[in-house]
């Protein structure tokens, strides 16, 4: 595995250094060129498990993936590039109480004595790496995000929607090995409660809008207005529409 091939995959041509500016650009490029998608799961194929398999799938075969694939690949790449990175687990949409379902993988990067939440596997751009101690708001895709206490033991990534702050996911800073997510991967791929094994989901971050294929519906969401343009995709053009996610023109 070669990190320069990864940088080519995400079309990153700038200098690499241990700075927040570089980390931000790397995250943006990853999200612009590597889709969040569940095609293997829909096709009854297990998600890539080993790092080599993930690298081959995303970098060599030009595919995307779910959080266990995309964030693990980014963890490897950032480590190879000299960043101090750790893997954490998060619970999606916990509501008022945690369900103890920490099935989402995310990353923490330690940089200049600060800890930043980095996530290329959630189907959203949160406006860049978020300093977990700065208490500042970020704007990503036209939505405000912040990190605040979820309870005495957990932090929350909050998003401002419908005139209220809602917890998108809760997490703590305990470091997880990839093997920790074995049960989470099974749930994502096989459980009847999983939303990822029901219909096609492919989503990509672009400069002014997000493009998402959900089942047979293509949705273009404008960041500035939050308006949604929906198109029904017929079976005869489905493969071509899916293929269009794997290159970024805007």
* pLDDT band with cut points at 50, 70 and 90 for residue 248: low
Give the pLDDT band (50/70/90) at residue 204: very high
Query: What is the rounded CA–CA span in Å between residue 143 and residue 127?
Result: 9
- 30-51 per-position pLDDT tens digit: 999 999 999 999 999 888 889 9
On the question of pLDDT at 155 being above 80, the answer is: yes
Across 52-61, average pLDDT: 96
E-state strands within the chain: 36-37, 84-92, 104-111, 114-118, 130-131, 138-140, 143-149, 155-161, 164-171, 201-205, 209-214, 217-222, 228-232
Instruction: For residue range 96-138, list pLDDT tens digits in order.
Output: 889 999 999 999 999 999 999 999 999 999 999 999 988 899 9
pLDDT for position 247: 72
Sheet of 228-232: strand order equals 36-37, 201-205, 209-214, 217-222, 228-232
Domains of the chain by residue range: 3-246
**Domain 3-246 top-level CATH class:** alpha beta
């Amino acid at each position: 595995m070669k990190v320069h091939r990864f940088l080519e995959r995400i079309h990153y041509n700038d200098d690499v250094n241990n700075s927040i500016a570089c980390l931000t650009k790397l995250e943006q490029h990853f999200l612009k060129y590597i889709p969040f998608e569940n095609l293997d799961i829909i096709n009854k194929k297990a998600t890539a498990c080993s790092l080599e398999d993930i690298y081959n799938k995303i970098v060599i075969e030009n595919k995307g993936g779910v959080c266990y694939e995309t964030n693990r690949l980014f963890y490897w790449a950032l480590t190879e590039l000299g960043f101090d990175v750790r893997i954490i687990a998060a619970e999606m949409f916990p509501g008022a109480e945690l369900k103890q379902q920490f099935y989402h993988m995310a990353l923490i990067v330690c940089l200049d004595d600060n800890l930043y939440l980095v996530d290329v596997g959630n189907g959203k751009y949160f406006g860049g790496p978020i300093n977990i101690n700065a208490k500042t708001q970020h704007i990503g895709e036209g939505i405000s995000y912040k990190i605040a206490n979820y309870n005495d033991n957990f932090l929350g990534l909050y998003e401002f929607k419908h005139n209220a702050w809602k917890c998108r996911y809760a997490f703590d800073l305990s470091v997880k090995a990839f093997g920790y997510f074995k049960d989470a991967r099974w749930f994502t791929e096989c459980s009847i409660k999983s939303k990822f094994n029901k219909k096609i989901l492919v989503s990509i971050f672009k400069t002014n809008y997000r493009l998402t294929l959900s089942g047979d519906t293509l949705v273009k969401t404008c960041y500035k207005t939050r308006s949604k343009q929906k198109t029904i995709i017929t079976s005869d053009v489905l493969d071509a529409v899916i293929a269009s996610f794997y290159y970024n023109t805007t």
